[in-house]
Structure 1
Amino acid sequence: MSDANARGLPHIESAFQPILSLAHGLPVGYEALLRATDGGMPCSPEQAFGVARARDCYGEYERACARRHVQRFQQLVGDESVLFLNVHPDVLVDPHHGAGIVADLLSSDIERSRVVLEILEARQETTAVLADAVAALRQHGFLVALDDFGAGFTNLGRVWDLRPDVVKLDRELICKAASSYRNARSLLRLVDLLHDIGTFIVVEGIETEEQALLCLDCDADFVQGYYFAKPSYEIGPMHVSQDAVRTLGRRLNSVHKLRQVADLEELAPYRCAFRQLQQAFSAGRGLCDSAAHFLHLEWAMRVYLLDGDGMQVGESVESERHAEWRRSTFALLTQRCGANWSKRPYFRNALSRPGQTIVSEPYMSSSARTHCVTLSVNLSCDGGNYVLCADVLFEGLSQTL
């Protein structure tokens, strides 16, 4: 850009990385990425903007980058692809440069609905001012994205405040989700939460097939990363890995999703032992004797009984193992007799399906800071209605997944 070059700022070139729709296997749009040189030598975006900041030209340089990206994008694509443009929140709220970047975009002939202003991850003390800036962007017809959710300052509060059209998840989330089944389940629930707010989800930093397939399993909308395509100065189908797209297509056709806890093979011994527990208790044996076989299993924690109103009858029969997991944060919570568990899904679901073994989703136990899976069944004995429950330590079980 001539105005940037005239100020002695790093030279601007544009590279583009596709953002693929998982449902279509095609790019929904492209993120524009700065490829700068300073004195003829390549420099990173951080270095380039560092030079601009040192010369008190940060806002001017970002506007120059945006103009160059738009110009180059229009030379390369048709009328459907969307351009993701990075913008620092400090620039967006700046009275001069915030209005200037909007004016620059409006003066180009790109459709406003084809531009996504991607707000970079950075501290922004004046949240209300940023919200006003985002509202102004929407009035002009631009879309808004939040970058690097889950890292630093881009958090759920900012999503609630700004209501973006797109949230891009930081690459560390998919890396950690791929490392364990428990983390993958947490990512799935995060995606569900963000969808409930009303935003599309891009998972960034996809570098392996495992990570790509996990994005499908977690119901993400879009993906971006080297596994599919590296940033390129050109745009076209040849720049997207067709092998990666075919892999996604096969997984979509197989309708494979994250396994529900109730379907885990690792839980089968506990289900079998719980049936024996139920049979022994229904035959009149005491709870402690009935629970012995179940509590012999590695990750079994406790067995207890609830009445028809969800009140616990007597104390729990506890495993002698895993004392460190059973240690309570608050002493009162160790007193389970008389506690009311009627709000727990394992109680409500068992009550509505008498005789059927219910397997809960993992949840945090109130008696200790552990995640449990509870097996429960509604049964009649001694003329009363009861729900028999048994807890399995999910922290331990998930280590085998």
Structure 2
Amino acid sequence: MIDASAPELPQIESAFQPVLSLAHGAPVGYEALLRARDAAGKPCSPEAAFAVARQAGRCGEYERACLRRHVARFAQFAREDDVLFANLHPDVLVDPVHGPALAQELVESAVEPNRIVIEVLEARQETPAALVDAVERLRAHGFLIALDDFGAGLTNLGRVWDLRPDVVKLDRELICKAVESYRKARSLLRLVDLLHDIGTFVVIEGIETEEQARLSADCDADFVQGYFFARPAIEIEALAAFGAGSSPPLDARLGDARKLRRIADLEELAPYRRAFGRFKDAWCLGQPLAFAARHFLECEWALRVFVLDESGRQVGENVESDHCCERRCATFPLLARRAGANWSKRAYFREALLRPGETIVSEPYMSSSSTNLCVTLSAFVRLGEHGYVLGADIAFEGWSRHLA
């Protein structure tokens, strides 16, 4: 067994950063972080420390020594319901010697397995089946499993499906990008929804500003972590005080964070709604499609209008706005021919049939007409014995730039 103070290997110290539950305003647990010192006693990064261990051929032993240190330190300050998040490299987990030994050391530690979350680090694994087996063995002991840095590098949806983690931690780059625009924020919300649908808790990491913190709450993340809430600490007294504080460590304003508004609720959509209503009324009075839709097509980000029959098949071609061509992206030539195409599976068509006469607002989706992200306004109307769904597309990519 390695001596963590061996002169040829970096010395090991543990720091901890809270992982906070947004619903409770308190730590659900703490992530252990390596704070190493080289042979001269100078601080060195975890990457540099493990590079030294790897060069000495003792990487697995060093990883186990770090984890023993983390667990021992955690046990000194943690409350009985605190959970330890501990990073492990996939290569160590699948190692035939160090993998089982590590698990046994954890089982025999002072912290119960159901209070330890094994974070599988983002790294290439040449034998993915072996990693699945190793994770299953850890799960059988009662450990929880997390995937780190989702959205960066190799940690992808396939790995989520394979490893079935209890927790997915989103790479900090995602929240940094998401605060840049409404469109990116919506994409982050959809990603969180997708991971929840798979059956995992979601941690948003790297939160450094109030804007990022509020967006994390808007996206319905379960847990958050970052300098905005607390920096990693080595001192046990500081960690114990953080967990036992009488006032919630989260800013109370986060509980009132404005949820990301649905497209249908946006005030900025009002001019398009009004113009679509005029289009619908004019077309039902028998005016030609292009003339009936002229007011809508004059709106800044209007793309086109079209008509579907009750089965979802398009009647005639689109009527495009004058500026649609300059916003058209490269596409497959066949997709430009819309007449006769069947759009019965589109949500805007199904919703219109269910709510006759109402103006339906779709969520953004990829339009096959021009491969633009678009939002469609639709409505079911009846002329004599026949029913039709009128549709009108808005270029979401351009329109959303003006959204707060």
Asked if 1 retains the 8 angstrom alpha-carbon contact of 2:348 and 2:377, the reply is yes
**Residue 315 (structure 2) aligned to one of 313, 316, 319:** 313
Alpha carbons of 1:210 and 1:244: their partners in 2 closer, same or farther (altered >3 Å)? farther
* Separation (CA, whole Å) in 1 of partners of 2:247 and 2:335: 53
Q: Which of 286, 289, 294 is the equivalent residue of 2:288?
A: 286
* Identity of matched residues, %: 64
**2:344 partner SS:** coil
The residue that corresponds to 2:373 in the other structure is: 371
Against the structure 1 CA distance between its residues 232 and 191, is the aligned structure 2 distance closer, same or farther, given a 3 Å change threshold?
same
**Contact 2:303–2:394, Cα closer than 8 Å, also in 1:** yes
Tell me the amino acid that sits aligned with residue 56 of structure 2. R
**How far apart are the structure 2 equivalents of 1:251 and 1:85?**
27
Q: TM-score, normalised by structure 1?
A: 0.96
Distance between the aligned counterparts of 1:255 and 1:178, measured in 2? Answer: 14
For each residue in 1:64-108, what CA deviation from the matched residue of structure 2 results, as whole angstroms up to 9, or x when unmatched? Answer: 100001111111112110001110000010011111211211221
Closer/same/farther in 2, CA of residues 380 and 240 from structure 1, 3 Å limit: farther
* Alignment match, 1:123: 124
Partner of 1:32: helix, strand, or coil? strand
Matched residue type, 1:126: T
Question: What is the rounded CA distance, in whole Å, between the counterparts of 2:245 and 2:301 in structure 1?
Answer: 43
Verify the 8 A CA contact 2:15 2:34 in the aligned structure 1. Answer: yes
1:382 Cα shift? Answer: 4.5
Q: Give the AA of the match of 2:22.
A: L
Q: Which amino acid aligns with 1:92?
A: L
The residue type equivalent to 2:308 in the other structure is L
8 A contact 2:14–2:69 mirrored in 1: yes
In the other structure, the counterpart of 1:236 is 240
CA contact (8 A) 1:227 1:244 kept: no
Q: Point out 4+ residue stretches in structure 1 off by more than 4 angstroms.
A: 239-246
Contact 2:150 2:170 in 1 (8 A): yes
Matched, 1:152 2:153: yes
1:150 corresponds to which letter in structure 2? G
For 1:159-174, list aligned pairs within 5 A.
159-174=160-175
Distance 1:104 1:360, change over 3 A: same
> Out of 241, 246, 253, which is 1:250 matched to?
253
Q: Which runs of structure 2 are paired with 1:86-165 in the superposition (5 Å)?
A: 86-165=87-166
What is the root-mean-square deviation of aligned Cα atoms in Å?
Answer: 1.7
Counterpart of 2:350 in structure 1 is 348
Corresponding residue number in structure 1 for 2:80:
79
User: Structure 1 counterpart of 2:30, which letter?
Assistant: Y
SS where residue 280 of structure 1 aligns? Answer: helix
Q: Which amino acid aligns with 1:6?
A: A
Q: How many residues align?
A: 399
Contact kept in structure 2, 1:278 and 1:388, CA below 8 Å: yes
What CA distance in whole angstroms lies between the structure 1 residues aligned with 2:31 and 2:242?
17
Query: In the superposition, relative to structure 1, how do residues 326 and 382 fare at CA in structure 2: closer, same or farther (>3 Å)?
Result: farther
Displacement after TM superposition at 1:242 (Å): 9.4
Q: CA deviation at 1:266?
A: 1.5
Contact 2:213/2:254 (CA < 8 Å) preserved in 1? no
Rate the CA distance shift 1:229–1:327 in 2: closer, same or farther, 3 A: closer
Stretches of structure 2 lacking an aligned partner (at least 5 in a row): none
How far, CA to CA, are the matches of 1:138 and 1:75 in structure 2? Answer: 25
The whole-number CA distance in structure 1 between the counterparts of 2:250 and 2:94 is: 43
Q: Deviations over 1:236-287 (max 9, x none)?
A: 344899999453x3342x4731100011121111001111111111122111
1:92 and 1:130 mapped to 2: Cα distance?
7
CA contact (8 A) 1:16 1:32 kept: yes
8 Å CA contact 2:27–2:243 kept in 1: the answer is no
Q: For 1:387 and 1:264, locate their aligned partners in 2 and report how far apart those are by CA, in whole Å.
A: 23
Q: Secondary structure of 2:345's match?
A: coil
Contact 2:18–2:29 (Cα < 8 Å) also in 1: yes
Q: Which residue of 2 aligns with 1:3?
A: 3
In the alignment, the residues of structure 2 paired with residue 327 and residue 161 of structure 1 have an alpha-carbon distance, to the nearest angstrom, of 35
Q: What per-residue deviation string (whole Å, max 9, x for no partner) do you get for residues 281-333 of structure 1?
A: 11221111011111001100001111111111111110110424324511111
CA change 1:244–1:79 in 2 (3 A) is closer
Q: Is the 8 A contact 2:26 2:248 kept in 1?
A: no
Give the conservation status (yes or no) of the 8 Å contact 1:356–1:377.
yes
Provide the TM-score with structure 2 as the length reference: 0.95
Cα distance in structure 1, aligned partners of 2:107 and 2:366: 51
The residue that corresponds to 1:218 in the other structure is: 219
Q: Which residue of 1 aligns with 2:209?
A: 208
Q: Structure 1: how far apart are the matches of 2:215 and 2:174?
A: 11
1:240 and 1:181 mapped to 2: Cα distance?
Answer: 37
Distance 1:321 1:245, change over 3 A: farther
SS across alignment from 1:92: helix
Change in 2 beyond 3 A, CA 1:241/1:214: farther
Instruction: Determine the structure 2 residue equivalent to 1:332.
Output: 334
CA contact (8 A) 1:228 1:241 kept: no
Q: 1:226 to 1:281 in 2, by over 3 A?
A: same
Amino acid at match of 2:332: F
Partners of 2:232 and 2:187 in 1: how far apart? Answer: 30
Contact 2:2 2:62 in 1 (8 A): no
Match of 2:189 in 1: 188
